[in-house]
C-alpha cells in the first residue's frame, strides 16, 4: 500500500534548476520549509544579505523597500493568511497574500507571456541599501498557494521574469495535485536568482486558466554581486507524477477560481 505521507516527505526537497555552465540564472521550487532553507543558504554562500518582509493581512502593496502592483501598475490588495488546500496538519502562508488567478493569453503553457498581466510586479527601484552594490535586487522568493489543483490542458505553469521579457518557468503541473508539497497541501516556495546585474522590476504570474492562485506570505530578497552566485546542491525530487496519481486516487476535489 502506498504511503502518501512518506512519499510527500520525500518530495519535500528543494528543486534547484541550474542553467548551463557559465550562466547565472537559478531557481528554487520546493515546500515552504525546504525552499526557505535552500534560498537562505544560496544567498549566504553567494555573499548576499537576505531581507525578509512579512506581508500584512490587509492594505496595499506599498512596502518599505519595494512596491507590489499589477504589471500595468494597478494597485493590489493584501488579504489574510491563506490556508493551503488539503494541508494536513493545516498550514497557512506566513503572511498576507495577493490573489492572482491566471487570466488572459492562450494559457496552459501555450503562451507564457500572454497571462502576465494577471500576475504581480515587484518594483525595487527605490531599494539601494547602505553598503549594498547598487539599486535593485537579483534574488527574490515568496510563497504560492493552491497552485496545481486543476486546469492543466495540458500543463499549468508558474513564471518569473526579472525584466518583463525573459521568462523563467519556476514549476509545471501536469496532473491534478502533483505539486502538493507543503504538509501534503497545495503550497510551494518559489525563488529565482539572476546575478547578471541588479533588477528594479520582477514579475510573477501563472497561466493555468481557471485556477486559484495566490502569492505572498513572506517576501525575501537580496543583492548578489555579478557572477558571484553559488548554487546549493540538493537532491533531485522524486517523480511528482507518481504523487499526483496517488492523490487523485483518493478522490480529492480540485479547487477552481470562483
C-alpha cell at 209: 486558466
pLDDT of residue 176: 82
Please compute the mean of the pLDDT values over residues 177-186 and round it to a whole number. Answer: 95
Please compute the mean of the pLDDT values over residues 18-41 and round it to a whole number. Answer: 82
Given a cut of 70, whether residue 13 has pLDDT beyond it is no
pLDDT of residue 153: 86
Please compute the mean of the pLDDT values over residues 57-82 and round it to a whole number. Answer: 98
pLDDT of residue 9: 30
Query: Which whole-number Å values give the CA distances from 231 to 10, 11, 19, in the listed order?
Result: 21, 20, 11
| Residue 59, C-beta contacts closer than 8 angstroms, at least 6 positions apart | 77, 78
> pLDDT tens digits, residue range 138-181?
999 999 999 999 988 899 999 999 998 899 999 999 998 899 99
pLDDT of residue 231: 86
C-alpha cell at 96: 498576507
Percentage, residues of the chain above pLDDT 70: 81
> pLDDT tens digits, residue range 98-118?
999 999 999 999 999 999 999
CB atoms within 10 A of CB 131: 6
> pLDDT tens digits, residue range 192-235?
999 999 999 999 999 999 999 999 999 999 999 999 999 886 54
Q: Which of 191, 198, 227, 163 is nearest to 21 (CA)?
A: 227
The whole-chain average pLDDT of the chain stands at 85
Query: Could you write out the DSSP letters of every residue in the chain?
Result: ---HHHHHHHH-S-EEEEPSTT--EEEEEE-HHHHHHHHHHHHHHTT---EEEEPPSSSBSB-SS-EEE-TTS-B-B-B---BPTT-SS--B-SS-EEE----SSS-TTS-TTTTGGGSEEEE-TT---TTSSSSSBSEEEEEEESTTSS--TT-EEEEEESSSSS-EEEEEE-STTTT--BTTBSEEEEEEEETTS-BSEEEEEE--TTB--EEEEEEEEE---TT---PPP-PPPPPHHHHHHHHHTTTPPP-B--
Given a cut of 70, whether residue 15 has pLDDT beyond it is no
The residue with greater pLDDT, 23 or 130, is 130
Q: How far apart are CA 247 and CA 188, in angstroms?
A: 17
pLDDT of residue 177: 85
Percentage, residues of the chain above pLDDT 90: 76
pTM for this entry: 0.84
Given a cut of 80, whether residue 3 has pLDDT beyond it is no
pLDDT of residue 257: 59
pLDDT of residue 237: 46
Amino acid at each position: 500500500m502506498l504511503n502518501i505521507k512518506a512519499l510527500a516527505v520525500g518530495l519535500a526537497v528543494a528543486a534547484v534548476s541550474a542553467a548551463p555552465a557559465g550562466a547565472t540564472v537559478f531557481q528554487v521550487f520546493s515546500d515552504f520549509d525546504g525552499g526557505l532553507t535552500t534560498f537562505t543558504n544560496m544567498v549566504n554562500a553567494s555573499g548576499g544579505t537576505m531581507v525578509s518582509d512579512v506581508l500584512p493581512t490587509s492594505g496595499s502593496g506599498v512596502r518599505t523597500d519595494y512596491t507590489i502592483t499589477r504589471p500595468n501598475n494597478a494597485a493590489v490588495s493584501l488579504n489574510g493568511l491563506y490556508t493551503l488546500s488539503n494541508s494536513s496538519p493545516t498550514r497557512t502562508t506566513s503572511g498576507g497574500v495577493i490573489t492572482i488567478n491566471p487570466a488572459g493569453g492562450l494559457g496552459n503553457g501555450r503562451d507564457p507571456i500572454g497571462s502576465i498581466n494577471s500576475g504581480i510586479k515587484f518594483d525595487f527601484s527605490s531599494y539601494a541599501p547602505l553598503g549594498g552594490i547598487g539599486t535593485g535586487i537579483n534574488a527574490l522568493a515568496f510563497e504560492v498557494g493552491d497552485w496545481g489543483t486543476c486546469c492543466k490542458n495540458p500543463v499549468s505553469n508558474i513564471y518569473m521574469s526579472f525584466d518583463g521579457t525573459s521568462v523563467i518557468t519556476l514549476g509545471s503541473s501536469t496532473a491534478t495535485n502533483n505539486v502538493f508539497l507543503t504538509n501534503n497541501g497545495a503550497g510551494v516556495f518559489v525563488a529565482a536568482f539572476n546575478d547578471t546585474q541588479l533588477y528594479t522590476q520582477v514579475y510573477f504570474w501563472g497561466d493555468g486558466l481557471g485556477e486559484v492562485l495566490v502569492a505572498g506570505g513572506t517576501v525575501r530578497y537580496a543583492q548578489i554581486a555579478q557572477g558571484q552566485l553559488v548554487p546549493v546542491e540538493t537532491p533531485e525530487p522524486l517523480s511528482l507524477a507518481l504523487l499526483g496519481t496517488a492523490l487523485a486516487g483518493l478522490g480529492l476535489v480540485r479547487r477552481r477560481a470562483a
